Structure 1
Amino acid sequence: QNLYSSMVIFCLIIGPVEQMLTIDNLTTVQEFILEGFPAVQHLGKPLFMVHLLLYLVSITGSIVIVTITWTDHCLQTPMYFFLSNYSFLESCFITTVIPKLLAIFLSGRQTISFAACLTQTFFFLFLGSTCFFLLAVMSLDRYVAICNPLHYHSIMNIKICFFLVLSCYVLGFMLIISLVLMVSQLSFCGFNVINHFFCDLGPLVHLSCSDTSSVESLSFLLSIVIILSSLIVTVISYFNIINTIVNLPLAKERWRAFSTCSSHLIVLFLTYGSVVFIYVKPKQTDRVDVNKEAALVNTVITPLLNPFIYTLRNKQVKKALRDTLYRMRYMKSSWNFR
């Protein structure tokens, strides 16, 4: 009788637990739906054409910068070595986001698998973090060039340049992989609509049905380390640069020194403006709706403007571009003559 009573109690306990586990398995999210921009979803094809054009122009601009800096001997200096790496990084960065956005506009396919969503989150944050570290390195490069010009080539030699770029990649990877691994351990059940046009960290964490406090704390800490630390390095570098430029005796020297930094300063202003607004906050679930518009600036508008800023405001790059186009026309005319 005791055995029968124990079996009855066991069945009464295990039955609901088994039912809960079954329900949990049925409601575990296998894919997400990217909401995108519902208010303008009916304009899918025109928006597809506009964003495709912007994407192609941005990628083409980055490819042009990388090509001319590696083929023109006059541009094979540390400054343009860092610039070409930054352009390559930026083209990879927007490629993690824009193709999926184009698919949403064109076909309306808004679903993305759990694995693909985590992969997109990782590469978006990894490449973005690496870009910030590289911007700080570019600021240090300008600091050494202007504040310590006599020792510039000995300090910024080829080995140091490669080491600095590699350090940016390694540091970005090591910081972001731990965060994404923590996100992968969260539970996602039931609601699976991401209020964004890509798998960004905040909207993704917002959908979790488990405790996200540790993920949000780590995310806030990494935002401080990545964004604000690189910003501090940049501000200190440019404070010393401006101080040096102001003390130059000739106006022509002051203008020449400032012109080498002006493009970089514009890019810094555009990049840090939207990103600090999005990521430097204690809770990633705050202001998700507003973040969409800021993220669109960061992933579409800024990468489109950067190649033009670096080429139109830099005489050496414009000269190298003209020389490259001249060589291409000369080779084409020679080939047609044959």
Structure 2
Amino acid sequence: MNVPVADESSITADDDGPFDPKTGDEIAELFARVMRSRPPPVKRAVFLKPHACATAKFDISADLPERLKVGLFATPGTHDAWVRISSDTSPATPDKANSTVGFSLKVLGVPGTKILAGEEDAQTHDFLTQNHDVFFVDTAQDFLEFTRAIFDRTLDQYLAAHPTFDQILKDMEKPVENALATRYWSTQPYRFGDKDYVKYAVRPCSAWPPEPPAEDEPSYIRARVERDLAASDACFDLQVQLRGDDANAFPLDKATVRWDESVSAPQTVARITIAKQDVAANEAACENMSFTAWHALPEHRPVGSINKARGIAYKKLADERRTKNNVPIREPQP
């Protein structure tokens, strides 16, 4: 396999491109309005419909090539972890609506100072992925304009003027047979030490028989995860896809562009094992957790304006949710 060679001078303080923090502030305020409009307790602004909250083990591979022994992955070993699987819709929306499904991973017992302001001492590291390999807009400013269009009830006009965004949204509306047999992607890039950028992917490594979506059951995704994890273990591989040499083909701040896996194939760096368990019993634990890509070591700093806006918005929204629900800001321990 040909692995792209990194230019040592390619990562600079300006690698994210232009970004105005006010963009993240405005996105946070728009989503906060949605949260405040709902009856208490205050729920998440996004990925609101839970399918599973599971304890897991995160095993960092011992035989990684030197280039991949970076940050969290520099030392092989096993960490406790939490996995939250959810849909980006309200709990009342049936799964046949084909909303985006997210796979959030929180690795515990990770030493080192983190980059999230106010939570630098947290011993956790988060990874956020979804079941489509690109995002539906390019930049944070695009996402702000899209969100404004929803509030202004001008979404049809906005999408008509942005056909690429419209098509990706349609592509994202795909059925999920089994969340444990689904592949997930970060869609956004991250630093990987001083020389590289990567995108993350989560690939299932358990074999599950094909099973068509149960369109007559509004929450069949949850039902199947609960059924399968009550009977057996599940596993996934966490992978990194190194950025290729062509900056136009592997952009850092154009999230609709797919990084070509035939040019740079994802490489496995860790195994996620979800042991057989009653995942429904864990739901309250995940409800009080905050998952953000900024729960991270500096070597894995999120890159791009969408990641920066998320860093601002997710922090503000999580703080407001936990304050109003009288839940302390505290990361889980191993």
TM-score, L = length of structure 1? 0.27
TM-score, L = length of structure 2? 0.27
Structure index of larger Rg: 1
Greater helix share, structure number? 1
